[in-house]
Every structure is written in structure tokens, then in C-alpha cells.
């Protein structure tokens, strides 16, 4: 059976933890920061674990994790 390809957009945006959970960044931090409240920018720092229902779809595009 041939190798499965990883979706390029997924490989750039998501990563996996050692236990198989999907890690993502917060949205809305690329541009137009002046318009956003400081509270939103503080809360959007770093990364977070995706919910299991959303992570299931992402894992299909990352066959080798």
C-alpha cells in the first residue's frame, strides 16, 4: 500500500502531543491588533488543546501524527 500524504495546511497549523492530542494556536493574532482589546490579545497567547470532536477531523489529515 502506498504512503499516505499529510495535508500541507494541517502540518503548518497543528501539532500533536506525545499522548496524541492536537495542539493549535489561537485565531485573530496576525494583523489589525490595534482594533482588538488587550484582554483578547492576552488570552490568545500561546497554544491550546483542541476539543476531541474537532481534533478527530484534523487527525484524518495527519496520518502519521
- 2 is a domain residue: no
Q: What is the pTM of this model?
A: 0.81
For residue 53, give the CATH number of its domain. 4.10.410.60
Count the domains in the chain: 1
Mean pLDDT by 10 residues, the chain (65 residues): 93 94 94 94 95 95 89
Q: What is the 3-state secondary structure (H, E, C) of 3-59?
A: CCCCCHHHHHHEEECCCCCEEEECCCCCCCHHHCCHHHHHHCCCEEECCHHHHHHHH
| pLDDT for the residue 11 | 93
- 27 is a domain residue: yes
- 41 is a domain residue: yes
| pLDDT for the residue 65 | 80
- 50 is a domain residue: yes
- 48 is a domain residue: yes
Instruction: Specify whether the backbone of 45 is left (phi greater than 0), alpha (psi in -120 to 50) or beta.
Output: beta
Range of the structural domain that residue 49 is part of: 8-61
| pLDDT for the residue 24 | 97
| pLDDT for the residue 4 | 94
Amino acid at each position: 500500500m502506498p504512503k499516505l500524504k499529510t495535508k500541507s495546511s494541517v502540518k503548518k497549523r497543528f501539532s500533536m502531543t506525545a499522548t496524541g492530542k492536537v495542539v493549535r494556536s489561537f485565531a485573530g493574532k496576525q494583523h489589525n491588533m490595534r482594533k482588538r482589546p488587550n484582554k483578547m490579545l492576552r488570552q490568545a497567547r500561546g497554544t491550546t488543546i483542541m476539543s476531541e470532536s474537532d481534533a478527530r477531523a484534523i487527525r484524518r489529515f495527519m496520518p502519521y501524527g
